[in-house]
Homo-oligomer: A and B are copies of this chain.
Amino acid sequence: MNLNQIELLRVLQETNFNLSKAAERMYVVQSAVSRQLQMFETELGAPLFERNGKKLIGLTALGLRIMDEVATINQAKQNIQNIAADFMDGDHGTINIATTHAQAKYFLPTPVQRFREKYPGVRIYMQQSSPENLIDQLHQHKADLAICTEKVQEDTDLITKHCYDWHHAVVMPHGHPLCEGELSLQRLATFPILTYSFGYTGRSTIENALKKAGLNLDIVLSAADSDVIKTYVRSGLGVGLITGMAYDPEVDADLATRSLKGLIPSSSAKIAYLKNNYLPSYIEHFIAELLTAAQAIKA
């Protein structure tokens, strides 16, 4: 047994048990991985993969059991390398953040700015992704950190930290009837609505609040992106339901806004990362920075 064989098992899983693709990913020829797999199975004394003729089509019961351990080993191996790299030079490295447009544009700028001042050597990569994919990004090791707004499903492999609570707000052109008078869900429902796509930034919270009130919104446009929504609000398509922080008093001075606090339950933004994944010290600092920025929002 050796680490390359362990790695191979992981890669095979990621390539749908395709030896050729696995070989490509591991930068060796196909025959090499074929042999390594055979040797490993021979060593263990039983096949790990279900085969149709020669073709691998899935894991055997044994293979399934073992894959957990394989993942553990690969993770620990990564951790060793990361710990050492961090130890060698704790001020350089990269952070991969998986997040949504709203976070990237309206929440992250301040903490990122402050972090950069302390760690100018760290490169920050932001991957925008749909909320449902954020956690997958972590599991696939494409991101170190995810910042989520929709609920994170219970996942024992994940550590989540509460970041901040936020409310939806309605935006509309100045002079719009909704700028004045009572603000209720009932009244809101009388206007054409523009809001987030399904699964995005608290959309489900909106759905639930309306369902509870027995109302149907006339959603004329949905987008993943607060800015797109605002653009169409400007063009008079309807009123926008966006996260409060996406309203910028300066840039959006041509729009009016009213908070929906009390009408739609607050949502909470969370930081998530893998439990068994080693985070370099600078990422821990970055998380601390996020949390202090979150404090500021509350205040």
| Interface, chain A (partner B; CB < 8 A) | 1-3, 44-46, 61-62, 65-66, 69-70, 72-73, 76-77, 79-81, 83-85, 87-88, 278
Contact of A76 among B2, B44, B73 (CB under 8 A): B73
> Cβ of B62 and Cβ of A1 under 8 Å apart?
no
Residue of B with least CB distance to A45: B88
A204 to chain B, nearest CB (A): 36
5 A-B pairs besides A46-B87, A62-B87, A72-B73 with CB distance below 8 A are A1-B3, A2-B3, A44-B80, A69-B80, A73-B76
The 27 sampled A-B contact pairs (Cβ below 8 Å) are A1-B3, A1-B77, A1-B81, A2-B2, A3-B3, A44-B81, A44-B84, A44-B88, A45-B85, A46-B84, A61-B87, A65-B83, A65-B87, A66-B80, A66-B83, A69-B76, A69-B77, A69-B79, A69-B83, A69-B278, A70-B76, A70-B80, A72-B72, A72-B73, A72-B76, A73-B76, A76-B76
Of residues A65, A69, A85, which shows the largest number of chain B Cβ atoms within 10 Å of its Cβ? A69
A13 to chain B, nearest CB (A): 15
* Chain copies in the assembled complex: 2
Contacts of A73 in B (CB 8 A): 72-73, 76-77
Contacts of A83 in B (CB 8 A): 62, 65-66, 69
Contacts of A69 in B (CB 8 A): 76-77, 79-80, 83, 278
Residue of B with least CB distance to A83: B65
Residue of B with least CB distance to A78: B69
Contacts of A2 in B (CB 8 A): 2-3
Distance between Cα atoms of A80 and B80 in the complex (Å):
20
Contacts of A44 in B (CB 8 A): 80-81, 84, 88
Distance between Cα atoms of A46 and B89 in the complex (Å):
10
> Cβ of B1 and Cβ of A80 under 8 Å apart?
yes
Distance between Cα atoms of A46 and B61 in the complex (Å):
41
> Cβ of A62 and Cβ of B84 under 8 Å apart?
yes
A62 to chain B, nearest CB (A): 5
Contacts of A61 in B (CB 8 A): 87
Contacts of A46 in B (CB 8 A): 84, 87-88
Distance between Cα atoms of A79 and B68 in the complex (Å):
10
Distance between Cα atoms of A79 and B79 in the complex (Å):
20
Distance between Cα atoms of A189 and B77 in the complex (Å):
60
Distance between Cα atoms of A247 and B71 in the complex (Å):
51
Distance between Cα atoms of A46 and B85 in the complex (Å):
9
For the complex of A and B, list the 4 residue pairs with the smallest distance between their C-beta atoms, beginning with the closest: A44-B84, A69-B76, A72-B76, A62-B87
